[in-house]
Every structure is written in structure tokens, then in C-alpha cells.
Chains A and B, each alone.
Chain A
Amino acid sequence: MTSIDTATRHDSTSGLSETCRSGLEHLLSACADTKLLLGYHYGEWTFGTPEIEAAVASCSLSQAELGHVRLLHAVLKRHYDADPDALMSDREAGAFANVAFLDRDIAHWADFVAMNLVVDLAVTRVLDSLRGSSFKPIHMSVEKMLDEERYHAHHGFGWFRALARRNDETRTAIEASLNRALASVIEWFGPADDAEDRALIEAGIRRTSGADTLSALIDDLSGPARELGVTLKADRDRRFDGWDPATRRCTPGAPDEQILYHLRGSKNAVFKVK
């Protein structure tokens, strides 16, 4: 872990190198896009949960994620001249930088728990790496988001234990879902030697590199997995040929058009207040 030099603080992106500036934009956009899709899927799962408490929790998690999207979009608007409406509505699907696990409908409860535990926690780990950042505009937002994310993690770990302990069928299902989510998250973190990531560390914007942040996430998951007899497969040696820092993917991909149609409110665009 790198300690951040508090002497050099940035109120805006003007003092940052071009690599650092684009790296920060890509990182914040990737967090916002993943949270947007998390918010959508949590919202969808207000119905269909195994128990009523989980339905209420899912709805609450959705509200929190959408609130975080607004915070991140506000930073992107102020410092990158991004239009939040355009980020939501006018982008090509292929421009989204979300974790690919969220591209399709979340098929069943084991996938939901994997999304909650692995994907949500991955973004939280990235936000944690921005704590005490030399880029001042994200200070307050990061602390607020991390405070709320504690309960998302409790929900994910609680359900992980419940499914892993219930019976062989549920343990097998959660193991498969966790490993698919983890593979997707590993791609999203990208290669260890990414130039933008290095620039963010050197400028004190991130406390820990992407690779170290991913290691911390895997550590978070490994202890409970071992205790529960669940095998985690984290392929850290995979290749990242063609990895694009703007979309955080090795090959082109995008959220499902139907999901974006609902998420953007396209059906009701005529009622939008200008």
C-alpha cells in the first residue's frame, strides 16, 4: 500500500498529466457505470427474493447505488464537462465500462448474491483506494459512499454464508456464480502494469494500485470461502490482450439493449421534463 503525499492536493484536473487525467476519468466512469447497472439489477430484484427482508434490502441497495451514480456524475460534469443526461441516455451501449457480469439479467438468487458480494464489493474496494486522494473533489463523496456500502457488504456476506451452508445444491450454485462474477471483475480491473493506473498512484490520486486493490478484494472473499468449503478460482495470470481502459474489457461487449431501454426510461422519454 502506498501512502498519499498530502502536500500535493488537486482542486481540479488542471495540474494533472494527460495520462493521469484520462485515468481518473476512466476510473470514475467505470465505477459510475457499474453502479448504474447494480442499481438497475437491485431494483429489478425488489421482487422475486427468497424472503421479504431481502426484497426491502434489495430496493434500498438500488437507491443507494443510484445516489452514488449521481455523486460520480456530478464530479464528471464539473471536472470533465460530461453531461449526466448524455451519460445515461445518449451513449452507445458499447461505450459503457461496467463489470460485464451485469450485462445481462441476473438469472437467479445465487447470481444475485455473487453480484452483491463480488461486483459491488469490487467497486467499493476501488472507492476505498481513493480514500485520502490528492484529488480533493472526490473526498466527501468517497466517504459517504463507503459509509453506505458497509451494509451492502453485510448483505452479500450474510447471504453467501446462508447459501454455502444450506445444502450441496445451493453451495454448488453460489460457488459457480461467485467464480463467474470474479472472472468478470478480474477483467474489469485490467492488467497490473496499466499506464493510467501507474499515473494515478504517482499523483497520489489512488492509494493502492488496481492489482493491489484486486488482491485486497480476493483476500476479503478468500477467508469466508475457505471457512465455508467454497473454492474460489481467481485467474491472476490471464492475458489482457486488447484491454481498453475506457471500457475495461478485452473484447467488445455491452449491457443488453433491453436493459438500457428500461434503465434509461426510453419508453417514457416523451414525458421527460426539459
Chain B
Amino acid sequence: MTEGRIYEVFARKSHQEELRHVGSLNATDDELAKAYAWTMYDEENWIEMCTVPRTAIIPVTDHGTLPLWGN
């Protein structure tokens, strides 16, 4: 395994759909992440796909814990 980071992948099949999370992957840089996203999550004819390093995602809730009021 090379030193990489986790990327999250989002995609949609039509302009009417919202982007939705389709999976995640490990990659050493953004360019490799694009190749991996496209080849790993090719089960649909996506009109849009994008990927983002997990570290760029800003947590709103405490990660891994339920809020006091539950959900």
C-alpha cells in the first residue's frame, strides 16, 4: 500500500438528481483519485462525478457519536 488519503466520491445520473455519495477510495493524489473514482464506480452512466479528500469535509456533528437528542 502506498501512502495515500481517503477520498469520498459523489455522482448523479441526470441533471434532475442531486449529487449523492457513491463510495470512497484511497489514492496518493487528486489525479489518481479521479482515475480510481471513474474505474471503481462505473456501474452507472454518470453525467457528473466528483471526488473530494475526506479531510476537506467539515464535520457538523461530532464524528461517530450520536447527538444527545438522538436521530
Contact = CB atoms under 8 A, between A and B. Distances in A.
Interface of A: 50-51, 53-54, 56-57, 59-61, 151-152, 154-155, 157-159, 161-162, 166
18 contacts: A51-B2, A51-B26, A53-B40, A56-B36, A56-B40, A57-B36, A59-B39, A60-B38, A60-B39, A60-B40, A151-B35, A151-B38, A154-B34, A155-B39, A158-B31, A158-B34, A161-B29, A166-B3
B28 interface: yes
A53 B38 contact: no
B19 interface: no
Contacts of B33: 158
B52 interface: no
Contact of B42 (A50, A60, A161, A162): A60
A158 B2 contact: no
B25 interface: yes
B45 to A, nearest CB: 12
Interface string B8-43: 000000000000000001111101111110111010
B56 interface: no
A158 B27 contact: yes
B46 to A, nearest CB: 12
B25 to A, nearest CB: 5
Interface of B: 1-4, 25-29, 31-36, 38-40, 42
B29 A53 contact: no
B2 to A, nearest CB: 5
Given A53-B40, A60-B42, A166 B35 contact: no
A157 B39 CA distance: 15
B29 A162 contact: yes
A148 to B, nearest CB: 9
Nearest to A148: B38
A54 B26 CA distance: 10
A56 B36 CA distance: 8
Nearest to B38: A151
Contacts of A155: 32, 35-36, 39
A57 B37 CA distance: 9
Contact of B35 (A50, A59, A154): A154
Given A53-B25, A53-B26, A158 B40 contact: no
Nearest to A61: B39
Given A154-B32, A155-B32, A56 B39 contact: yes
Given A60-B42, A166-B2, A53 B31 contact: no
A50 B27 CA distance: 12
Nearest to A157: B31
Contacts of A54: 36
B29 A158 contact: yes
B49 to A, nearest CB: 11
A167 to B, nearest CB: 11
A268 B25 CA distance: 37
B39 A162 contact: no
A24 B67 CA distance: 67
Given A51-B1, A53-B25, A166-B2, A161 B39 contact: no
Contacts of B26: 51, 53
